[in-house]
Amino acid sequence: MSIENQIRAFAGTFILVSLALAHFYSPQWLWFTAFVGANLLQSSITKFCPLEIILVKIQQKK
């Protein structure tokens, strides 16, 4: 799987999990959803994504 697809999978999973946590436990989990969305927005503008750096380092160790 390409790094771009892995990032999309992580972001989608985090958003769905935080929405489920907000529904079942506390609406405060929506802040995490907002954080993921803001990170996606800033990475599209700046081309800087911390998760990409982490995934590249993990793949280099293999």
Residues 40-58: tens digit of each pLDDT: 999 999 999 999 999 999 9
Count structural domains, the chain. 1
pLDDT at residue 16, rounded to an integer: 96
Q: What type of residue sits at position 41? A: L
Local confidence band at 28 (pLDDT 50, 70, 90 cut-offs): very high
pTM greater than 0.75: yes
Domain that holds residue 53: 3-61
**Are 34 and 15 in contact, with CB atoms under 8 Å apart?**
no
Cα gap 15→18, rounded to integer Å: 5
Residue 29 above 90 pLDDT? yes
How much of the chain is helix, strand and coil, in % rounded to 5?
A: 85, 0, 15
Say how many C-beta atoms besides its own lie within 10 A of residue 8's C-beta. 13
